[in-house]
Structure 1
Amino acid sequence: MEQPQRLELPPAFEDVDVDILAELIGDMMQRLLAHNDNIPLSPEALTRFHSRSAPSISVLDYLRRIVKFTNVEKTCLLITLHYIDQVCTRIPTFTLSSLTCHRFVITAIALSSKALCDVMCPNTLYAKVGGIPVGELNMLEREFLRMIEWRLTCTREVLQEYYINLVRTHSSSKYFIPDPLSSSGVSSDSDADMDYDMSDSRPSSPSAAGTAVALDIGLGPSTASGASTILIDTSTLSPEPPRPPTMEQNMAFAAFQQQYRGRADGDGG
């Protein structure tokens, strides 16, 4: 059987088509959600980013919608992955799942655009594109900034590493970079180095076990639980101490349980 033709992508993320970059990120996130959706939800894990049910739109189509209507910069798309690492390292109970991903993504892009771009859309547009009220987006922005301790930027080299590993780990393997230029010095995309292990170029993250990027997507060092962060140097971050669930979290968790019981009873009938 003839192998499908692979498509060559430019070595630098600045030169890749934004629609392809959205596809790469969406592909990674879809695999992440498939893994993390199996993690049981607990009261202390509930955040303002949790919705009562998963949105009907896939995360890939959601990203495409954002690209289409907000003219988002490539840097703002890629840095969303860096934010995932920051949050999951600082807050080990947080899990990017189908209940949290969409709100997380639209908030990340809205904030990164304000921090990194000379021209950005108003929150009214981001909220409309993201499918949430503008007041809720404003609240999510405040919570997001607290979670990442206002660290909205990173180096170009970090973003380049994300890009290279997104290409290498794409589920269909249909893309390749012939001579990627990265801070790690990777210089080819031959079959021999397709299993490149990023753990050689950055420290592992025992404190982030079970939180950030799903098993087997290959973007970071594995942790004891089988999950991993993508790229971040966790020695620069200070994890939040574990806190008992608040009354708001307990009430929201009870509402989740009641909703799911109602669905189960309906299916049984």
Structure 2
Amino acid sequence: MTVAVVGASSFIGRALQARADTASWRFLDWRTALAEDAWLDGVDCLINCAFDPVLKREPYSVARDIDLQLAERLRDYPQINYLMLSSRMVYGPAAADGRLHEALSPQPINLYGAAKWQSEQALRGLLGPRLTVLRLSNVCGYELGGGRQSFFAMASRSLSEQGRIVLDMSPFIERDFLPVESLAAWLPRIAAAPRPGLFNLGAGQGTATGRIAQWLIQGYGEGELLVSNLREHDPFWLDLSATAQAYDIHGIEAAQLRDYCLALGQRLRLEKDASR
């Protein structure tokens, strides 16, 4: 089968390109994808990794919805299935147990979550059973470049540049963190046999943000953790029951995430030393 990925230079797009099992896939940037349709010939599945960052700071606009514009092009390509990479932000705040599952009614509280929810609804109307929506947890990895503002990106930059990680919330807050390489390993499995509907993709459990910081610092070899605010802010984890049943994907273990953070801290240290 032929898979096309829009957003080749994105964080997830780069992780997909690094895999041997995607060597035959078609990767292109979103401007090229929207400029002409010839690249769609022979494609069986389309994965979009592109998102207009303006929609994180301004209200939703159809003109900036890359998912919607791509989906509209599939009217003349009924053989193509579409994997939409959505976000756990669509759910809004989790309940006391932190669990987010697909049966919850969306209640996004920020512009990013609202935009993804608008896109999901529009694509369902256009594509019907050809659409698979994947709501992702906090995708993490080596994020020093690219201007990302995720927890990992900010923690990595602060540790590398200042020798410290500063938390503006309780270090006991647990969140669902998914290494981008794990996500990239799962997407080919989903693209090979996509099922219509909505599925969560994450670690399947929460990890204390203080533990993440501790592991990064431990891997880095030195540094300090400062807590500027003890607020209980945004704990969550994604329930993967539906994803496990459909795709035999069960998340990642805490030990895997620990080893991943240690290795990331070591990489930050090596690059810091090499730059001196």
Shorter-normalised TM-score: what interval? under 0.3
- Normalized per residue, which structure has more helix? 1
- Normalized per residue, which structure has more strand? 2
Q: TM-score, normalised by structure 1?
A: 0.25
